[in-house]
Amino acid sequence: MACLLETPIRMSVLSEVTASSRHYVDRLFDPDPQKVLQGVVDMKNAVIGNNKQKANLIVLGAVPRLLYLLQQETSGTELKTECAVVLGSLAMGTENNVKSLLDCHIIPALLQGLLSSDLKFIEACLRCLRTIFTSPVTPVELLYTVFFCFPLRFQDATVIPHLMSLLSRSRYTQEYICQIFSHCCKAPDHQTILFNHGAVQNIAQLLTSSSYKVRMQALKCFSVLAFENPQVSMTLVNVLVDGELLPQIFVKMLQRDKPIEMQLTAAKCLTYMCRAGAIRTDDNCIVLKTLPCLVRMCSKERLLEERVEGAETLAYLIEPDVELQRIASITDHLIAMLADYFKYPSSVSAITDIKRLDHDLKHAHELRQAAFKLYASLGANDEDIRKKIIETENMMDRIVNGLSESSIKVRLAAVRCLHSLSRSVQQLRTSFQDHAVWKPLMKVLQNAPDEILVVASSTLCNLLLEFCPSKEPILESGAIELLCSLTQSENPALRVNGIWALMNMAFQAEQKIKTDILRCLSTEQLFRLLSDSDVNVLMKTLGLLRNLLSTRPHIDQIMSTHGKQIMQAVTLILEGEHNIEVKEQLNHHLRRFRESRNLRKNNRQQLGSQFSFFDLFLGSIVDIPSLQPLPLSIGGHLQSFYP
Residue 508 has pLDDT above 60, yes or no: yes
CB 101 within 8 A of CB 91: yes
Predicted local confidence at residue 542, as pLDDT? 86
- 408, 467, 401, 499: which is closest to 418 by C-alpha? 401
What band does 54 get if pLDDT is binned at 50, 70 and 90? very high
What average pLDDT does this structure show over 215-236?
A: 98
Distance separating alpha carbons of residues 325 and 377, to the nearest angstrom: 7
The average confidence (pLDDT) of the chain is 86
pLDDT per position as a tens digit, 279-289: 999 999 999 99
Residue 445 has pLDDT above 50, yes or no: yes
- Phi, psi of 244, deg, nearest 5: -115, 140
Crossing angle for the helix pair 51-59 and 95-103, to the nearest 10 degrees: 30
Predicted local confidence at residue 367, as pLDDT? 96
What band does 10 get if pLDDT is binned at 50, 70 and 90? very low
pLDDT per position as a tens digit, 280-320: 999 999 999 999 999 999 999 999 999 999 999 999 999 99
What band does 153 get if pLDDT is binned at 50, 70 and 90? very low
What band does 125 get if pLDDT is binned at 50, 70 and 90? very high
What band does 147 get if pLDDT is binned at 50, 70 and 90? low
What average pLDDT does this structure show over 50-67?
A: 94
Predicted local confidence at residue 590, as pLDDT? 63
Predicted local confidence at residue 360, as pLDDT? 73
What pTM was computed for the model? 0.86
Contacts of 428 (CB under 8 A, 6+ apart): 422, 462, 463, 465, 467, 468, 469, 470
Residue of 609 and 438 predicted with greater confidence: 438
User: How long is the chain?
Assistant: 643
Distance separating alpha carbons of residues 200 and 231, to the nearest angstrom: 11
What average pLDDT does this structure show over 372-388?
A: 96
Work out the percent of the chain whose per-residue pLDDT is above 90.
67
- 424, 426, 486, 488: which is closest to 456 by C-alpha? 486
- Phi, psi of 117, deg, nearest 5: -90, -10
Q: What is the DSSP annotation of 235-300?
A: HHTT-EETTEEHHHHHHHTTSTTS-HHHHHHHHHHHHHHHHTTSS-TTSHIIIIIIHHHHHHTTST
Distance separating alpha carbons of residues 288 and 41, to the nearest angstrom: 54
Of 16-25, 48-57, 146-155, 243-252, the range with the highest mean pLDDT is: 243-252
Distance separating alpha carbons of residues 41 and 20, to the nearest angstrom: 15
Per CATH, the homologous superfamily of domain 298-476 is Leucine-rich Repeat Variant (1.25.10.10)
Distance separating alpha carbons of residues 630 and 641, to the nearest angstrom: 11
What band does 548 get if pLDDT is binned at 50, 70 and 90? confident
Least confident of 59-63, 78-82, 347-351, 479-483: 347-351
Predicted local confidence at residue 626, as pLDDT? 29
Predicted local confidence at residue 568, as pLDDT? 72
Bond prior to 345 in cis (omega within 30° of 0)? yes
Residue 267 has pLDDT above 80, yes or no: yes
Predicted local confidence at residue 609, as pLDDT? 45
Distance separating alpha carbons of residues 563 and 266, to the nearest angstrom: 62
What band does 350 get if pLDDT is binned at 50, 70 and 90? low
What band does 197 get if pLDDT is binned at 50, 70 and 90? very high
* Distances, alpha carbon 139 to alpha carbons 19, 99, 133, 170, in Å: 35, 11, 8, 27
Contacts of 549 (CB under 8 A, 6+ apart): 555, 558, 559, 589, 592, 593
Distance separating alpha carbons of residues 330 and 136, to the nearest angstrom: 39
**Domain extent listing, the chain:** 298-476
What average pLDDT does this structure show over 562-581?
A: 70
Distance separating alpha carbons of residues 582 and 291, to the nearest angstrom: 41
| Amino acid found at 597 | R
